[in-house]
Amino acid sequence: MFTLTFLRIYANDLLFLSIFPVSSGQDRVEQSSGEMTASEKDQVIVGCNYFTTDTNINLFWYQQLPNKSPTLILNELPFGEGTTEPDFKKRFSATLNSTTKTVPLMIKDVHVSDSAVYYCALRPTVTGNSEILFRSLIIFVMLTVVVTMIIIQNE
């Protein structure tokens, strides 16, 4: 058995750390918080609700391992299929529900090595410049919500 601990941090708590200009629009994401206990090989679901009036959206999930940069897990679209990065295809998935405005991240067969910070990000616009897109997403992610997952293995 091990414990998964989710810590919720809001944008308001992180704004003072940013040196980038931030618009205070109504587009935002909210992630689940709390504590859950699971055994290795269990399934874990991390919730994410999004709020926007835009219909042309992409939602992204990132994983940040300790002392590493965030890594894209997947993106989901309201119409059609999103994409999951090859390293995550086997155990990580999400389904965007535009009616309930949710995009929960599901991790199957959870491992201790899944201990990380998980970011849900909303991007209501599309850009062709991937360098700017990545920078914008990381800034947006850092200013939205952070979920920390800590897995402690009992011996």
pLDDT tens per residue across span 25-75:
577 888 766 555 566 788 888 888 888 888 778 888 888 888 888 889 999
* Structural contact between residues 48 and 8, judged by C-beta atoms closer than 8 angstroms: no
Residue position matching structure tokens 């909303």: 122
- Taking residues 7-16, what's their average pLDDT? 33
Indicate the DSSP class of residue 113: G
Q: H-type helices in 19-79, by residue range?
A: none
β-pairing verdict for 44-46 and 48-51: unpaired
Classify residue 133 as exposed, middle or buried by CB count within 10 Å of its CB (0-12, 13-18, 19+).
middle
Topology adopted by domain 2-153: Immunoglobulin-like (2.60.40)
pTM confidence score: 0.65
